[in-house]
Structure 1
Amino acid sequence: MLLKAILLDLDGVITDTADFHYRAWRYLCRRYQLIIKPSMEVALRGIPRLAALTLILEKNKVCHKFSDAEMSRLCEEKNAYYNRLIAKMSEADILPGMLAFLKACKASEIKLGLVSSSLNAPKILEKIGLTAYFDCIVDPRTVAKGKPSPDIFLKGVTQLGVSVADCIGIEDAASGIAAINAAGIFSVGIGSEKVLSKANLLLRNTTELSLDLFN
């Protein structure tokens, strides 16, 4: 493979905000007497905010009780609490090995694209001091469908001006790996084999990332 570009998710790949997301959903559920079990934390990873809320409401069998406008308001309420949690993020929150990996990519003139479902991704990237490393940040609002559909990865490929055959995608969520595979891109999973069994290459954590794996 002649590696020209890498598309990376944010949560669980560059920095770990998954716990912040889950804490924000728990806050919302307490306010509206909804049940959210710890086992749902994995299922909520890597999917758009509205999809996550829909999943929670479905589990509680109350989807029919909320209009589109009410669901939008609940999403904003969750996001406001989440923003309070991430307000103090800094370079110290970059996952181990990731900064060195990004530096190696730039030194090798490999393009980098951020493909996160989170609307807060640009803000978080700025807080942890990594914005300058990325050649594009795909706005999830500009694609028709969120992960596990391939749209956001295909949009990233287009914005970077590369072929799917010349890039890889890195994810920590099953929905993200499914999206990468559906786009025809080589998929790299970071985390558990139980969750990421469909990844073309599985790494236990970000310290194992190296360009030598792909050249």
Structure 2
Amino acid sequence: MIKGFIFDLDGVITDTAELHYDAWKKLADEMGWEFDREVNEKLRGISRMDSIKVIMDHNGVSLNEDTIVELATKKNDIYVNSLDGMTQEDYLPGARELLTHLRSEGFSVALGSASKNANKVLQQLKATHYFDVIGDGNSVSKSKPAPDIFLFASEKLGLRPENCIVFEDAEKGIDAAKAGNFHSVGIGPEERVGHADIRFDTMKEATLFAVKSHFKDLF
């Protein structure tokens, strides 16, 4: 039986992707590195430190660990400052409605995000009350595609993975859900999240009715 739902944040609850892109672009420009939308797509769903290493690899750059941490922190500062402009109007269409519906039906709900700024984003959205558990980039050491963040969330909810459905918009996120034995809902194009148990183009389509219809034997 499905008793819990675990949500990624960026690209599922809200779209901070453009803010991340702008922050990485600003840092890359300062460093004289090449950075474009194609490289940015490779950062979807992975941690800040993994992201900067992807950008460095793309540019054939090698730096010591202290410098890498310093640059990643600089990018984060740019990004965090941009979050001040977020409001509760910045939910992705359908996300707030789904969270509200899950609450009214008594399901357990957790966040399972690689972001270390998840709490700040949820506060800006005024969304913290929707979640029983918040798992973020500070909760586990291994980021997706390792299943650790989802396992952390389900454990804190007191549920087994097979009793939870994970919502993800990243290929590595679906990989993580599968590795942890969770049911999965992919949000986005076939080529990115087509390996999820069920896929929707947008959150607006991923209603509780649609999800229940697919997993009907589990409700």
* TM-score, normalised by the number of residues in structure 1: 0.96
Give 5+ residue unaligned stretches, structure 1. none
Q: Find the counterpart in structure 2 of residue 49 from structure 1.
A: 48
State the alpha-carbon separation in 2 of the partners of residues 197 and 103 from structure 1: 26
Q: Is the 8 A contact 2:94 2:207 kept in 1?
A: no
Identity %: 36
SS, match of residue 207 in structure 1: coil
Q: Find the counterpart in structure 1 of residue 189 from structure 2.
A: 192
Q: Find the counterpart in structure 2 of residue 155 from structure 1.
A: 152
SS, match of residue 114 in structure 1: strand
Give 5+ residue unaligned stretches, structure 2. 213-218
- 1:69 is displaced (CA, Å) by 0.7
State the alpha-carbon separation in 1 of the partners of residues 148 and 141 from structure 2: 7
- 1:140 is displaced (CA, Å) by 2.3
State the alpha-carbon separation in 1 of the partners of residues 94 and 37 from structure 2: 28
RMSD over equivalenced CA pairs, Å: 1.0
Q: Is the 8 A contact 2:25 2:35 kept in 1?
A: yes
How many pairs does the alignment contain?
212
SS, match of residue 37 in structure 2: coil
State the alpha-carbon separation in 2 of the partners of residues 192 and 104 from structure 1: 25
SS, match of residue 47 in structure 1: coil
| Paired residue type of 1:206 | M
Q: Find the counterpart in structure 2 of residue 108 from structure 1.
A: 105
Structure 1 residue runs of 4 or more that deviate by more than 3 Å after TM superposition: none
State the alpha-carbon separation in 2 of the partners of residues 90 and 3 from structure 1: 31
Q: Deviations over 1:149-177 (max 9, x none)?
A: 11111111101101111110001011111
| Paired residue type of 2:175 | A
State the alpha-carbon separation in 2 of the partners of residues 24 and 197 from structure 1: 29
State the alpha-carbon separation in 2 of the partners of residues 105 and 3 from structure 1: 12
Q: Find the counterpart in structure 2 of residue 7 from structure 1.
A: 6
Q: Find the counterpart in structure 1 of residue 215 from structure 2.
A: none
- 1:147 is displaced (CA, Å) by 0.5
